[in-house]
Structure 1
Amino acid sequence: MMAAKYLTKATDLAKNFIVSVLKAGDVAIDATMGNGNDTVFLAELVGETGKVYAFDIQERALQQTEIKLSNQQLIHRTELIHSGHENMRQYIHEEVSVVMFNLGYLPKGDHHIVTKAHTTIEGIKQGLALLKTNGILTLAIYHGHPEGLGEKEAVLAFVKTLNQKLFNVLHMEFINQANRPPILVVIEKK
């Protein structure tokens, strides 16, 4: 699978970072499964010997993702978990190379069910604890909905406090686009 080559959107930029880190045999986390596109992307990269743990609180997300993975014969590389990303350490007990978050709501789903700052920050903490050295955590932050702006501010405030001796934190955003386009944060564990 090829990652995006152009500056198109935050999720494509995240994938560009991920393909440089995630290799066959690695373990990855899709912290916000959604419609399963990122789970499929990660499952392709980890190969036959790798594993992807994917989290979502909505049953619809698990069902759609399972169908996508099955259709592409990737389901055996994944574990779909019906739980919030703030609980990832209850399910994962090994080091991971990548943790991927897409914050906001399920596209074409109930826009009242959104990620929340307090659970996202807990998920980030747990993801960082699971990351191996030189692993990355990506956050595509969608803040164009009522809850999103507060979540963005809380998440950015939190990641700014990460110890620079332990983590590199990069913040990217499109500055010439209307309607509060998503931003990308990439955290590398040193």
Structure 2
Amino acid sequence: MSIRAKYQITEYCHRFLQDYIHEGDHCIDATCGKGHDTEFLCRLAGKTGRVYGFDIQMEAVEQTRIHLAEAGCAEQAVLICDGHENMGKYVEEQVSAIMFNFGYLPGGDHSIATNARTSLQAVEQGMKLLKTGGVMSLCIYSGGDTGYEERDALLAYLKGLDARKWLVIVHSYYNRKNDPPLPVFVVRLA
């Protein structure tokens, strides 16, 4: 792995999350994209765990399905072509981790992207499903095609969470230009 790869936002989030996920856990990839985060969650949850992967684009769901089959992780995953704001309709059990990558499918149509309204709904749904001691990661991409509305709405919402029940950690790539991605972690305390 190159030095640069170690500092990509997804790798950074993986490193943070790995201490929260154990064999047999249930997890959610709220924006499965090409399936790399789904695979990561499947490997940590193991053969007895379950990972739910959501995406609104059938192309992304199919890319994830192919990726998981090639990685030998397909049996642990339930892939759903629906918006992440609807995760509560499909997931009944408490989960250890939820991963979000806000923005658009890399290499995909930039006009199809997450938005403030549905992303806030999805975070709220995820908070209801997250078990005590569980964690949610939010990779927030802003600027360019995606604008700032979603980032600002998510950060404002998270800032208002009850500090006795939720720990919110916002990191930044402080010396990177052009609106670098923002890694955010939300831990359920109670």
Whole-angstrom distance in 2 between the partners of 1:6 and 1:112: 27
What is the CA distance between 1:144 and its match in structure 2?
Answer: 2.6
Structure 2 residue aligned with 1:60:
59
Structure 2 residue aligned with 1:124:
123
What is the CA distance between 1:6 and its match in structure 2?
Answer: 8.3
Write the mapping of 1:33-182 to structure 2, written as runs, cut at 5 A: 33-182=32-181
Structure 2 residue aligned with 1:11:
10
- Alpha carbons 2:24, 2:50 under 8 Å: kept: yes
- Indicate the SS of the match to 1:173: coil
State the 4+ residue runs in structure 1 displaced beyond 3 angstroms.
4-7
Q: Which amino acid aligns with 1:125?
A: E
Q: 1:82 to 1:19 in 2, by over 3 A?
A: same
Whole-angstrom distance in 1 between the partners of 2:15 and 2:84: 23
Q: What are structure 2's unaligned runs of at least 5 residues?
A: none
Q: 1:148 to 1:30 in 2, by over 3 A?
A: farther
Q: What are structure 1's unaligned runs of at least 5 residues?
A: none
Please, what TM-score do these two structures have when normalized by structure 2?
0.95
Q: Which amino acid aligns with 1:75?
A: A
What is the CA distance between 1:148 and its match in structure 2?
Answer: 3.4
Aligned residues: 188
- Alpha carbons 1:39, 1:52 under 8 Å: kept: yes
CA shift digits 1:141-189 (9 cap, x unpaired):
0103243311000100010011101000000001101111100110000
Q: Which amino acid aligns with 2:177?
A: A
Whole-angstrom distance in 1 between the partners of 2:76 and 2:147: 32
Structure 1 residue aligned with 2:24:
25
Q: 1:179 to 1:5 in 2, by over 3 A?
A: closer
Q: Which amino acid aligns with 1:188?
A: V
Whole-angstrom distance in 2 between the partners of 1:5 and 1:145: 22
> Structure 1 vs Structure 2: percent identity of aligned residues?
42
Q: What is the RMSD of the two structures over their aligned residues, measured on CA atoms?
A: 1.7
Q: Which amino acid aligns with 2:183?
A: L
- Alpha carbons 1:104, 1:148 under 8 Å: kept: no
Please, what TM-score do these two structures have when normalized by structure 1?
0.95
- Alpha carbons 2:110, 2:145 under 8 Å: kept: no
- Alpha carbons 2:20, 2:97 under 8 Å: kept: yes
- Indicate the SS of the match to 1:147: coil
